[in-house]
Amino acid sequence: MLNKRNIIDIIYQVITYLAASVGVIALSMIIFFVFSNGLKLLNFGLLVNDYHAEFYNGGIDDPIFTFSHRPISLDDKVFYSQKWGIGLVDSKDREGNPIIIIEYISGDSPLLEIYDKNNEESKEIIGIDKGFLVSKISYYDKNTSLTMYGAESMINDIESTNEIREIVFSSLGGGIRGSIITTLYLISITIIIALPIGISTAIYLNEFSSKNRLTSLLRSLIETLTGVPSIIFGLLGLAVFVPLTIRFSEATSANIVSGSLTLSVILLPIIIKSTEESLKVVPDSFRSASLALGANHTQTTLKVVLPSAFPGIMTGTLLAIGRIIGESAALIFAIGTAVKDDISIFGKSTTLSVHIWSLMKDEPANIELASTIAIVILLIVLTLNIIVKLISKRFIKEF
């Protein structure tokens, strides 16, 4: 028989299950959305390529033809020129306009010798590669082949000629190497600045300071800072760190260093708090034992307390790094939104999260690439998580 107690229990259980499943469903929907939109763009090229497409006017003198056979692995949709050792395929860009992509280029193709026509003296080899777009090829003896006539006619044209006047092509672009590098720089510099300061402050507060007005003031200040929206710190970065870096370095605008300084300010309270938490759980019996053995305060802190708190501090650091990767509001001001390919720490560039932001504010929004970057961010966070778990585990196992 069900009594009142049981019914209440069942109601509570149903509520918890419902709440849990809503959470799980929402999370899986986000992940599903991100993966279904972003997975098709995800490949190695995306990670190492430039974002901005590079246009080339290529020229070639006295090509040596090798007549390599069409590889069997090539798809039927690819049109292949034996003479020039190149396979082209029709495709569409994001806006739906037709494009022609180099799908295959054989290792001995004469086209590999293409040089930069804009720089006639040095005749620097461009290094044409799979994935480049061909927009037009012009000849001395016949009409130019254009993208609008399709890959098949372009292949027919070059197969029947021995000389190419000019070939206009571009790298694919859309790669996120620059943003990845910026993110990594930002993580390293911020951690280098914020971690030592944060950990030292926490040690001072928890191990050395006596309980007085000043320390309790400091504590409540830290507490308050944790709750301040990051965009306000972004304004601080814009008002203080950007001019500061411009004044004392070659920087001319918001840059990676000003971004790192701003993020350091955001992270300090978080690092201080998490370090303090992990110092607090170190049993006092360790401290007493150490002091009773004639160790002084500093030795006790460095040799006994800090090592015991290490896994906790690592977890805090990981959270901090997660925060760096995820932060966008503050960085829009403090580092800027310019997506760049050449990265220097005093130059303009932007992080993966801000990259997503700028992709989504474009018209039309580039949801695919944004989702792909989201996947990359997820993967980075996952990797960091695993690394930290492994380190802490090894550390714990040792003792």
Partner 1 sequence: MNSIFEIDNLNLHYDDFQALKDINIRIEKNKVTALIGPSGCGKSTFLRCLNRMNDLIDSCKITGEIEFKEENIYTSNYDVISLRTKVGMVFQKPNPFPMSIYDNVAYGPRCQGIKDKNILDEIVATSLKSSALYEEVRDRIKESALSLSGGQQQRLCIARAIAMEPEVILMDEPTSALDPIATLRIEELMNELKKKYTIIIVTHSMHQAARISDNTAFFLMGELIEFDKTNKIFTTPKNQKTEDYITGRFG
Binding site for partner 1 (CB under 8 A): 210-211, 283, 285-296, 299, 303-304, 307-308, 398-399
Toward partner 1, which CB reaches closer, 122 or 296?
296
Q: How far is the CB of 213 from partner 1 (least distance, A)?
A: 15
Question: What residues contact residue 389 under an 8 Å CB cut-off, 6+ apart?
Answer: none
Q: How far is the CB of 290 from partner 1 (least distance, A)?
A: 7
Question: What residues contact residue 168 under an 8 Å CB cut-off, 6+ apart?
Answer: 55, 56, 57, 58, 134, 135, 136, 137
Q: How far is the CB of 310 from partner 1 (least distance, A)?
A: 10
Toward partner 1, which CB reaches closer, 21 or 298?
298
Toward partner 1, which CB reaches closer, 13 or 288?
288
Q: How far is the CB of 204 from partner 1 (least distance, A)?
A: 17
Toward partner 1, which CB reaches closer, 142 or 297?
297
Toward partner 1, which CB reaches closer, 147 or 300?
300
The 10 Å Cβ neighbour count of residue 18 is: 10
Q: How far is the CB of 292 from partner 1 (least distance, A)?
A: 4
Toward partner 1, which CB reaches closer, 109 or 290?
290
Toward partner 1, which CB reaches closer, 308 or 371?
308
Q: How far is the CB of 399 from partner 1 (least distance, A)?
A: 4
Q: How far is the CB of 392 from partner 1 (least distance, A)?
A: 13
